[in-house]
């Protein structure tokens, strides 16, 4: 975990700029924003004012958290940029956005999302696997959404030798944002999130 005395810990949250069809995820996004703020941590996210992104940012800002948005210029013209953030960084490409979010964050959480969220998630997992820069797993919110992927990773990738034993523990699935934040703060309990 990259920590300094100069700043608070930050969590990168990967999620969509759409609400989706299940209102539970919107509620969980708000709960995560509240939990991040209550823990005195900062939020790094995709910079949008709408969807799950907007919900987590709204809640974190309302609780007094440092919120940094990182938005690719290609999306800026869609009028989704969140104007009330502590900082909104505009980058030329999606690749640069991912690299910047990774550089700013100490841990990575993901909500159900589309291709962009999956791209961010798998890049974070790959960086953790290869660079060993983080010692906290990526946390995925929404057990029913991610369970099929988790089964495929363990039942196919691990079984076929495409990933090494232990690489299937680089992520955890939970439905409790507050528990995930508490676990992140408790350095003695890293990698002990109970998958549901």
The 10s digit of each residue's pLDDT in 55-91 is 999 999 999 999 999 998 887 766 588 888 989 999 9
Contact 70, 44 (CB under 8 A): yes
Q: Which residues contact residue 59 at a Cβ distance below 8 angstroms, ignoring those fewer than 6 apart?
A: 29, 30, 31, 32, 33, 34, 37
**Average pLDDT rounded to a whole number, residues 95-114:** 93
The model's pTM: 0.88
Confidence at 162, pLDDT banded by 50, 70, 90: very high
Distance between CA 160 and CA 166 in Å, rounded? 14
Q: Within 13 Å and on the Cβ side, how many CA atoms surround 161?
A: 0
118-152, pLDDT tens digit by residue? 999 999 999 888 876 566 889 999 999 999 999 99
């Amino acid at each position: 975990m990259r920590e300094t005395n100069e700043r608070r810990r930050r969590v990168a949250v990967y999620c969509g700029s759409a609400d989706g069809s299940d209102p539970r995820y919107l509620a969980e996004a708000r709960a995560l924003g509240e939990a991040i703020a209550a823990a005195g941590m900062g939020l790094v996210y995709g910079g949008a004012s709408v969807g799950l992104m907007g919900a987590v940012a709204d809640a974190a800002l309302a609780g007094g958290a440092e919120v940094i948005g990182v938005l690719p210029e290609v999306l800026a013209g869609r009028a989704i940029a969140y104007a009330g953030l502590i900082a909104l960084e505009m980058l030329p490409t999606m690749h640069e956005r991912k690299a910047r979010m990774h550089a700013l964050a100490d841990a990575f959480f993901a909500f159900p999302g589309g291709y962009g969220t999956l791209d961010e998630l798998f890049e974070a997992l790959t960086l953790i696997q290869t660079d060993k820069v983080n010692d906290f797993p990526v946390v995925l919110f929404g057990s029913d959404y991610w369970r099929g992927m988790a089964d495929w990773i363990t039942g196919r990738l691990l079984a076929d030798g495409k990933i090494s034993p232990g690489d299937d523990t680089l992520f955890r699935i939970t439905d409790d944002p507050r528990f995930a934040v508490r676990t992140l703060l408790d350095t003695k309990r890293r990698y002990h999130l109970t998958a549901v």
